[in-house]
């Protein structure tokens, strides 16, 4: 007859301690070579991540040192000027704000609309849906300068013929970052459980009422994260604006229907100037841009983690 096993009994404690000791002894007799190899491997891995983080720190630190003298309110209250002592980012910031206003206006309905269609209306097995899916994945990988050429050939010139204005830049950037919003929104919509939809439909709501009142509100945090990441990408992009006439030195304040300028474009122009004063200015501008994008991205990441819902 065996007694019931009680892990708190004295005999069990002795047995457990013995087993622990044997295990520890076996593990400690691991060959010395293995121990050394393991340590070297782990430190190499740590070195890799340290180099990546150090690169980021040096990048920020170098700009901080170079641009320190220009990091003041003048940087955002002065218009751009050919005189480096007076130049600032004010008109570029206003230009970026105008572009972003138009981008948000187009990006949110188009991106969320496409995501809703693919998740709620699309038949997973239909050719069209599969084509659209592969297509969006590929669009995400098209180099940004090619979007600039698309904007030049299709939007600025015939067939749309809008010229080199804020709307042209905004449409080009919207097409560029649309895949980011579609992919993020699809994930957010997919995470809403089917029972929510079925409950709503069972109560007599139509499909669109279900989407508008149940599915979309539940997926707002995920969609917002995607939108913020997309906008921060659009703010930082320079290359697609170059073929749209952004290489010129703009010193006036842009309005909604004028020629455009944007923060990275102005900074790029400063980088190209030979005078050292412009280099300090460029460093301060880069720092401001990084700070803006880091704040936006951190907010997006925080939003995603904070409102990540488990049903």
Partner 1 sequence: MEATGIAATSPAALPRRLQAQSPRYGEKVIYGLLAACAVLSVVTTTAIVISLIVPSIQFFGDVSITDFLFGTDWGPSFEPASFGVLPIVVGTLSVTFWALIFAIPIGLGAAVYLSEYASPRVRKLIKPVLEILAGVPTIAFGYFALIFITPQIQKIWPGHFLGGPPLIFSVLAGGLAIGLMIVPIIASISEDAMSAVPRGLREGAYALGATKAKVATRVVFPAALSGIVASVILAISRAIGETMVVLIAVGNTPQLTFSPVKSVQAMTAFIGTTATGDIPTGSTIYKTIFAVALLLFLMTLAMNLLSVRLVRRYRQVYE
Indicate whether 291 belongs to the interface with partner 1 (CB under 8 A): no
Residue 34 CB, shortest distance to partner 1, in Å, is 5
Residue choice 239, 258, 273, 303 for contact with partner 1 (CB under 8 A): 239
Task: Report the C-alpha gap between 188 and 222 in whole angstroms.
Answer: 5
In the complex, minimum distance from the CB of residue 3 to partner 1, in angstroms, rounded to a whole number: 31
Judged by CB under 8 A, the residue of 301, 307, 308, 309 near partner 1 is 301
* Cα distance from N-terminal residue to C-terminal residue, the chain: 49
Q: How far is the CB of 191 from partner 1 (least distance, A)?
A: 15
Binding mask 38-57 for partner 1 (x = CB under 8 A): x--xx-xxxxxx-xxx-xx-
Beta-bridged to residue 259, according to DSSP, are: 165
Chain centroid offset of residue 21 CA: 51
Residue placing its CB nearer to partner 1 in the complex, 98 or 287: 287
Distance between CA atoms of 263 and 282, rounded to whole angstroms?
Answer: 11
Contacting partner 1 within 162-201 (CB under 8 A): 164, 175, 178-179, 182
Q: Does 307 bind partner 1 (CB under 8 A)?
A: no
For residue 216, the tally of other CB atoms under 10 A from its CB is 19
Helical H segments across the chain, by residue range:
10-28, 32-67, 74-77, 90-116, 127-139, 144-150, 166-190, 194-202, 207-210, 216-218, 220-236, 263-272, 276-306
As measured in angstroms, the least distance from the Cβ of 2 to partner 1 is: 28
Q: Is 146 near partner 1 (CB under 8 A)?
A: yes
Q: Cβ atoms within 10 A of the Cβ of 269, count?
A: 21
Residues linked to residue 281 through DSSP beta bridges, in sequence order: none
Omega prior to 187 cis, within 30 of 0: no
Distance, in Å, from the CA atom of 92 to the CA atom of 107, rounded to the nearest integer, reads 21
- The three-state secondary structure class of 257 is coil
Q: Return the range that interacts with partner 1 (CB under 8 A); candidates 8-16, 61-69, 92-100, 191-199.
A: 61-69
User: Could you say whether residue 19 binds partner 1 (CB under 8 A)?
Assistant: no
User: Applying CB under 8 A, does 251 fall inside the site for partner 1?
Assistant: no
Q: Assess 221 for contact with partner 1 (CB under 8 A).
A: no
Only one residue has tokens 């990408």, namely 233
Cα(7)–Cα(160) distance, integer angstroms: 79
Q: What is the Cα–Cα distance from 84 to 70, expressed in whole angstroms? A: 10
Asked whether position 138 contacts partner 1 by CB under 8 A, the answer is yes
User: Exactly one of 216, 230, 231, 267 binds partner 1 (CB under 8 A); which one?
Assistant: 267
With CB under 8 A as the contact rule, the residue among 79, 214, 273, 297 that binds partner 1 is: 297
Q: Which of the residues 78 through 117 are near partner 1 (CB under 8 A)?
A: 109-111, 113-114, 116-117
118 forms part of the interface with partner 1 (CB under 8 A): yes
* Residues 187, 184: Cα–Cα separation, whole Å: 5
Based on the shown chain and the rule CB under 8 A, indicate whether residue 246 belongs to the binding site for partner 1. Answer: yes
Q: Which of 9, 13, 23, 30 binds partner 1 (CB under 8 A)?
A: 30
Q: Which of 268, 278, 281, 284 binds partner 1 (CB under 8 A)?
A: 268
Interface with partner 1 (CB under 8 A), residue total: 95
Among residues 145, 196, 201, 220, which is the contact residue for partner 1, using CB under 8 A? Answer: 145
Based on CB atoms, which residue is closest to partner 1, 196 or 293?
293
């Amino acid at each position: 007859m065996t007694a019931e096993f009680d892990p708190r009994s004295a005999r069990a404690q002795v047995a457990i301690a013995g087993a622990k000791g044997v295990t520890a002894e076996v593990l400690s007799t691991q060959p010395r070579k293995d121990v050394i190899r393991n340590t070297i491997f782990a430190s190499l891995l740590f070195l890799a991540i340290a180099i990546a983080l150090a690169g980021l720190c040096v990048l920020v630190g170098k700009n901080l040192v170079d641009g320190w003298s220009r990091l003041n309110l003048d940087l955002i209250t002065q218009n751009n000027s050919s005189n480096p002592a007076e130049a600032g980012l004010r008109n570029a910031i206003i230009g970026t704000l105008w572009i972003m206003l138009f981008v948000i206006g187009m990006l949110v309905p188009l991106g969320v609309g496409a995501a809703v269609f693919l998740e709620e209306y699309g038949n997973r097995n239909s050719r069209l849906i599969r084509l659209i899916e592969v297509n969006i994945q590929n669009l995400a990988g098209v180099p940004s300068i090619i979007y600039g050429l698309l904007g030049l050939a299709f939007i600025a010139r015939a067939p749309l013929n809008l010229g080199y204005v804020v709307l042209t830049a905004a449409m080009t950037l919207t097409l560029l970052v649309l895949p980011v919003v579609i992919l993020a929104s699809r994930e957010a919509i997919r995470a809403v459980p089917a029972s929510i939809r079925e409950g709503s439909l069972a109560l007599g709501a139509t499909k669109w009422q279900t989407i508008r009142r149940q599915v979309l509100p539940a997926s707002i945090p995920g969609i917002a994260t995607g939108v913020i990441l997309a906008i921060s990408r659009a703010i930082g992009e320079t290359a697609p604006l170059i073929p749209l006439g952004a290489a010129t030195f703009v010193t006036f304040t842009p309005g909604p229907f004028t020629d455009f300028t944007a923060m990275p474009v102005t900074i790029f122009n400063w980088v190209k100037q030979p005078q050292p004063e412009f280099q300090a200015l460029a460093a301060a501008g880069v720092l401001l841009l990084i700070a803006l994008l880091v704040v936006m991205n951190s907010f997006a990441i925080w939003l995603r983690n904070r409102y990540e819902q488990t049903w």
